[in-house]
Amino acid sequence: NAGVTQTPKFQVLKTGQSMTLQCAQDMNHEYMSWYRQDPGMGLRLIHYSVGAGITDQGEVPNGYNVSRSTTEDFPLRLLSAAPSQTSVYFCASSHTGAQPQHFGDGTRLSIL
C-alpha cells in the first residue's frame, strides 16, 4: 500500500530554473493539496484540488502552478525558481473533506 508518493525526495536548483514536483496517490482520493513547510511558519497551503480537473489557490500560490488531469496525480510546477522557494514541500490527500488527510514524505528543495 504505497499511499502518497512524492518525487524527488531532494532537489537543488539554480535561480530561474523550472521544475515539477510529483505527487501520486493510489487510494482513489478526490482531495489533494500541496503545502510548504518553513522553519517557524508551520505548513502553508499552496494549491489544492477537490477532484480531477478542479484546482484552486491556497494561501501562498504565487510562483507555483498545478493541474489535475487524473485522480491519482497532482504535480506542482515551479515556473522560475527563487531562493524564497527553498522549503520542504508536502503533498496530502483525502477521500473527501470529512476524511483524514494522508501525507507524503516530502520533497526538500534548495534554490541557490
Partner 1 sequence: KQEVTQIPAALSVPEGENLVLNCSFTDSAIYNLQWFRQDPGKGLTSLLLIQSSQREQTSGRLNASLDKSSGRSTLYIAASQPGDSATYLCAVRRVTNAGKSTFGDGTTLTVKP
**Of 44 and 77, CB closest to partner 1:** 44
| Residue 104 lies near partner 1 (rule: CB under 8 A) | yes
Q: Are strands 107-111 and 10-13 parallel, antiparallel or unpaired?
A: parallel
30-42 core/surface letters (b: 16 or more CB in 10 A; e: else):
bbbbbbbeeeeee
Stretch that binds partner 1, among 11-19, 37-45, 60-68, 71-79 (CB under 8 A): 37-45
106 closest CA partner among 37, 32, 25: 37
Distance, CA of 73 to CA of 26 (rounded, Å):
9
Of these, 34, 48, 64, 74, which contacts partner 1 (CB under 8 A)? 48
2 binds partner 1 (CB under 8 A): no
Under the binding rule (CB under 8 A), the answer on residue 92 touching partner 1 is yes
Contact 6, 21 (CB under 8 A): yes
Rounded to a whole number of angstroms, the minimum distance from the CB of residue 87 to partner 1 is: 14
Q: Which residues bind partner 1 (CB under 8 A)?
A: 31, 33, 35, 40-45, 48-50, 56, 58, 90, 92, 96-106
